[in-house]
Structure 1
Amino acid sequence: MDYDQLKTFLVVTELNSFTKAAAFLHITQSTVTSRIAKLEEFYSVRLFDRNNRDLRLSSKGLELLPFMQQQLNLYEKTKQIATQHTHSQELKIAVTQSTWNSFPVRRVLSLHEKIPNLHVQITTDHSPAIIQHVLDGRIDYGIVFNLPRAKAIRAWHLGRHHYALYRHTDVNIDADFDLASLQNERYIKVSWGIPFQKWLEKHGIQHHKSPLEVSHGNLAKQIIIEQKGMGFLPQESVVNEPSLVEVPLGVEWAYQDYYAICLKNHPETTVYQTMNHFLNEGKVKGEIENIDH
């Protein structure tokens, strides 16, 4: 007795026809007949009473019907559990647009060597939204700027972005150019967060308004290149970009730390254990710093 035989028996019972059951299951009528015959052989009983015009369950078939339905339900339930287990091997990660270039995608994808059926989903968002999604359980890990204050979150220090002022090569500036001169240039503004804003204020730029303000660095870089302007960008994002040059100002550039985060009390699944091992391994090698709230 197997799943197909049980399924066929129950469909025949519902439709009262071998022909209709064959059409419903997309098999031949001879296959339906064969499956029912094997079930009858297994139970050593006749399951249906047949005549030229009518098909109905025998007394034994009627008696066995609820138990066969239970067996089919168990088959389908165990199959569902097995499928859920396979699909549960997922790793959902959200990163900010600006940390994308620094995100160790290759190393994360190498987790497939330890978890062959792992499905990795990577999305981008702003740090506050990513932190909230981690707290809500909508994503497993986030890569965010600044250390979250939530005690429920575990964090690893991944690195630091330094922000320098870049201009398009077609933009000429005076020899005495300084930060105050930005108001006279095609300055593309990006809100890099509180640490960056404090750095601007430290250097005398508090409420400077730019003709154009954008929400993330990749877009700012694209606009600076296309519109031949200038703006602050992470140094890591401007590598191998010949049309952009750094504007020397003789000051220490602003910086911002970024972190990998997850819930402290997450389920101890293979995915979490492997990902945490990956992060802790980086910590041991000096690549990552573990943070305790």
Structure 2
Amino acid sequence: MDTELLKTFLEVSRTRHFGRAAEALYLTQSAVSFRIRQLENQLGVNLFTRHRNNIRLTAAGERLLPYAENLMNTWMAAKKEVSNTSRHNEFTIGASASLWECVLSPWLPRLYKEQPGMQFEARIAQRQSLVKQLHERQLDLLLTTESPKMDEMSSQVVGQFNLSLFCTAPSRPKSALTYLRLEWGPDFQQHEAGLLISDDIPLLTTSSAEIVTRMLPELNGCAWLPVSWATQREGLNLVSDSVEVTRPLYAIWLQNCDKLNQLREILKTPVIL
């Protein structure tokens, strides 16, 4: 199927006029008529009824219209995706919402400053989804607190940060607060289970630090937050009997990644200062 035929069909169906369709497509009117005849011959049906100044879709044309729109939308999306893969100045970095909000956001301005000409996509998703995207080459670099589990992936520790329990009321112990779970990965849940009372059932579970921080005063809660991030925000106080847990930050990529040169340059910019 020639997509130009469908494009012409859609323009004629929109304008209901061969001349105006020709102007919109920068074609001659005879070229538009020829394309419509080609499409009709391929389908074996008439798509328009032609009367002077009165062009209407036939029943077959009405049936074709939604399919033609979907096909053209799919084709345009495919062209965009294929062209993007050939543009080596585009780089997609994935991480969880909590990592972007608390740890990685200051890194992006430094990347733009030190990598002029690059275009970045900061993708937010759960680690499992991002690992799949990395494996399917939809993602160039994954930043996570857990080491890779697949042999075809390479990794590098690019920093570490400390987590501690924070709340909005000063000098409160854990026992006086409800627990709100900010997800830091399955590995952290093992630490979490040992540090909390057995009946501390989270009133809220989220992957967003902004959401959990907003709900701390509402629920008289506490949550594990990066110390360097939380101490810079007004209204957050360290839970009086909290401890600090150190979490590593890994950069993970496919060993046969086709953007290894760009990746190495990007990782020269410190992720955590």
Query: TM-score interval w.r.t. the shorter chain?
Result: 0.5 to 0.7
Deviates more, 1:160-169 or 1:84-93: 84-93
Give the superposed CA RMSD: 3.5
Q: Corresponding residue for 1:120?
A: 120
Pairwise CA distance, 1:243: 0.7
Q: Corresponding residue for 2:245?
A: 254
Q: Per the alignment, do residues 208 and 273 of structure 1 end up closer, same or farther by CA in structure 2, a change over 3 Å counting? A: same
Whether the aligned pair in 1 keeps the contact of 2:96 and 2:126 (CA below 8 Å) is yes
Pairwise CA distance, 1:124: 0.8
Query: Partners of 2:157 and 2:111 in 1: how far apart?
Result: 16
Matched residues, number: 201
SS at match of 1:160: strand
Q: TM-score, normalised by structure 2?
A: 0.61
Q: Per the alignment, do residues 112 and 21 of structure 1 end up closer, same or farther by CA in structure 2, a change over 3 Å counting? A: farther
Q: How is 1:78-97 mapped onto 2 (pairs within 5 angstroms)? A: 84=83, 88-89=87-88, 90-97=90-97
Whether the aligned pair in 1 keeps the contact of 2:171 and 2:237 (CA below 8 Å) is no
Q: Does 1:190 align with 2:182?
A: yes
Q: Corresponding residue for 2:168?
A: 168
Q: TM-score, normalised by structure 1?
A: 0.57
Q: Per the alignment, do residues 206 and 276 of structure 1 end up closer, same or farther by CA in structure 2, a change over 3 Å counting? A: farther
Q: Per the alignment, do residues 162 and 86 of structure 1 end up closer, same or farther by CA in structure 2, a change over 3 Å counting? A: closer
Extract structure 1 runs of 4+ deviating beyond 6 A.
Answer: 20-23, 26-29
Q: Deviations over 1:61-114 (max 9, x none)?
A: xxxxxxxxxxxxxxxxxxx9xx9489623211112112213221023223552x
Query: Partners of 1:142 and 1:108 in 2: how far apart?
Result: 15
Gaps of 5+ in 2: 1-17, 29-78
Larger Rg, first or second structure (1 or 2) = 1
Query: Partners of 1:127 and 1:134 in 2: how far apart?
Result: 10
Q: Per the alignment, do residues 127 and 84 of structure 1 end up closer, same or farther by CA in structure 2, a change over 3 Å counting? A: closer
Q: Deviations over 1:121-178 (max 9, x none)?
A: 1111122221121111111111112111111111121222321111113x663xxx3x
Q: Per the alignment, do residues 206 and 265 of structure 1 end up closer, same or farther by CA in structure 2, a change over 3 Å counting? A: farther
State the identity as a percent. Answer: 17
Q: Per the alignment, do residues 200 and 110 of structure 1 end up closer, same or farther by CA in structure 2, a change over 3 Å counting? A: same
Give the partner amino acid of 2:185.
G
Query: Partners of 1:86 and 1:148 in 2: how far apart?
Result: 24
Whether the aligned pair in 2 keeps the contact of 1:238 and 1:244 (CA below 8 Å) is yes
Q: Per the alignment, do residues 213 and 108 of structure 1 end up closer, same or farther by CA in structure 2, a change over 3 Å counting? A: same
Q: Per the alignment, do residues 85 and 195 of structure 1 end up closer, same or farther by CA in structure 2, a change over 3 Å counting? A: closer
Query: Partners of 2:27 and 2:209 in 1: how far apart?
Result: 61
Gaps of 5+ in 1: 1-19, 30-79
Query: Partners of 1:172 and 1:239 in 2: how far apart?
Result: 15
Whether the aligned pair in 2 keeps the contact of 1:95 and 1:142 (CA below 8 Å) is yes
Pairwise CA distance, 1:233: 1.4
